[in-house]
Amino acid sequence: MKFHYIAFQADGKITENDLESKDVNQVLEYLRDHNLKPVSVKQIEKELGGERRFGKARINLTDQVFLSKYLALMLKMGTGLFQAINILVEDFTKKSVRFLLLEIRAGLEKGQPFYTTFARHPQTFSQVYINLIKAGETSGNLEKVFDNLSEMLTKQKELKDQIRGAMIYPTILLVTSILIVIFLVSFALPKIANVFSESGFQPPFFSRVVFGVGLFFGHYGIWFLLLFVLVFGVFFYLFRSSLVFKNWLMAIIADLPVIKDLFRKIALQRFASILSSLIKAGMSLTEALEVTASAVGNLELQRALVRISREGLSRGLTIGEAFRREPFFPRTVANLVTISEKAGHLEEILSTLADFYTKEIDSSLKALVAFLEPLLLLSIGFIIGLIALAILIPIYQLTSQF
């Protein structure tokens, strides 16, 4: 087993390290033999495939924001990178982040480049994050890079929270509507249909159709529910594990008339924000375009950026000319890029564009929610109305005979 210890040396200084040992007692014996007074001894998660696991809790976007912000702050204050990592190891209590920091420190002790530890975890850290750190390490400007990273990730988190918050009410409304319909069709409607069938009364054709649907779901509803759960589980697994399936599904969703414009604005906002950060970090434009293409999350925009880099700039076209050739970009964006190229402030214009599209996304979200809410209410009202009519019409006919 591997343990991490923190102890006082004979001169009063604090030291810490990792130690392979059979148990805690053996670690304490080692410390005593080396004249060290233990402060803390903790077992480290077992290594898997040569790579230390982060534990059950993953490093999320919030963790990345705080990690980048703290590193930027400490580097600004003149703290050395290795010393900053040591301080963060003590400050972070979340196991996944702590294990990452320990892995970073071990890499630095071995003389490995700083960015390589992040590169070993591509499922957690994006190519943009990794390449920004690499560029900052190469240029000796890590302080500014982490400052830009914390700002960029904060905007990403705010955008995600904004989208999630806007969709909470429509989601609750949709789930509630589905549960009401399932209850009516699978439980209430079959019982009412049985009452009419046992009484010998012949309801009208419209009511018989609705009752037939209710009886069918009353008998086989559980199988449909199990099938739905199975299909949802398969979709969720493929979405999380298969990039091809995820791109295919997102392409279908992005083409839906109601949300197509919203997805386009989200992609443009990510493009402007990421490309601006990469250029600020000192990365060449062609390389920055390639990295941005891998992170925008929109296949059409990804292909457009790759064409700009490989078929436009590499063949001698200006930035403005290369952008104007791509129909994905609105004319305004292409014109602003052209102007910024002449002025030499491309990263500033892109940052302004990112802020502009953030506000546009907010407006589009409000419009989408305003469209979805009455649509869902009308849909559930229509279904409940049909069921109510199917029940009331035969009741009225039955009572009118007496």
Helix (H, G, I), strand (E, B) or coil at 348: helix
Which one is predicted more confidently, 385 or 399? 385
Determine contact, residues 152/272, Cβ cutoff 8 Å: no
Q: Give tens-digit pLDDT for 6-41.
A: 777 776 666 777 777 777 778 778 888 888 877 667
Region 238-244 average pLDDT: 78
- Comparing 142-151, 185-194, 205-214, the range with the smallest average pLDDT is 185-194
Greatest distance between any 2 Cα atoms in the chain: 104
Helix (H, G, I), strand (E, B) or coil at 402: coil
If pLDDT is split at 50, 70 and 90, which confidence band does 50 have? very low
Say if residue 47's pLDDT is above 60: no
Which one is predicted more confidently, 401 or 397? 397
Helix (H, G, I), strand (E, B) or coil at 325: coil
Determine contact, residues 119/152, Cβ cutoff 8 Å: no
Query: What integer pLDDT is reported at residue 308 of this predicted model?
Result: 93
3-state secondary structure 318-370: CHHHHHHCCCCCCHHHHHHHHHHHHHCCHHHHHHHHHHHHHHHHHHHHHHHHH
- In angstroms, rounded to a whole number, what is the distance separating the alpha carbons of residues 143 and 32? 40
Say if residue 314's pLDDT is above 80: yes
Residues 6+ apart with CB under 8 A from 382: none
**β-pair type (37-44, 2-8):** antiparallel
Q: Tell which residue, 390, 276, 402, 254, has the closest CA to residue 333.
A: 276
Residues 6+ apart with CB under 8 A from 194: 215
- Comparing 119-123, 249-253, 345-349, the range with the smallest average pLDDT is 249-253
Say if residue 55's pLDDT is above 60: no
Region 125-134 average pLDDT: 88
Q: Give tens-digit pLDDT for 245-294.
A: 877 887 787 777 778 888 889 999 999 999 998 888 888 889 899 989 88
pTM of the model: 0.70
CATH topology of domain 141-402: Receptor-associated Protein (1.20.81)
Which one is predicted more confidently, 7 or 177? 177
Determine contact, residues 164/364, Cβ cutoff 8 Å: no
Region 307-312 average pLDDT: 90
Question: In what helix (H) or strand (E) does residue 275 lie, and over which residues does it extend?
Answer: helix 260-280
Most confident of 83-92, 293-302, 354-363, 370-379: 354-363
Query: What integer pLDDT is reported at residue 272 of this predicted model?
Result: 92
Query: What integer pLDDT is reported at residue 377 of this predicted model?
Result: 86
Determine contact, residues 156/180, Cβ cutoff 8 Å: no
Where are the domains positioned within the chain?
Answer: 1-44, 56-125, 141-402
Query: What integer pLDDT is reported at residue 231 of this predicted model?
Result: 92
Share of the chain above pLDDT 70, in %: 92
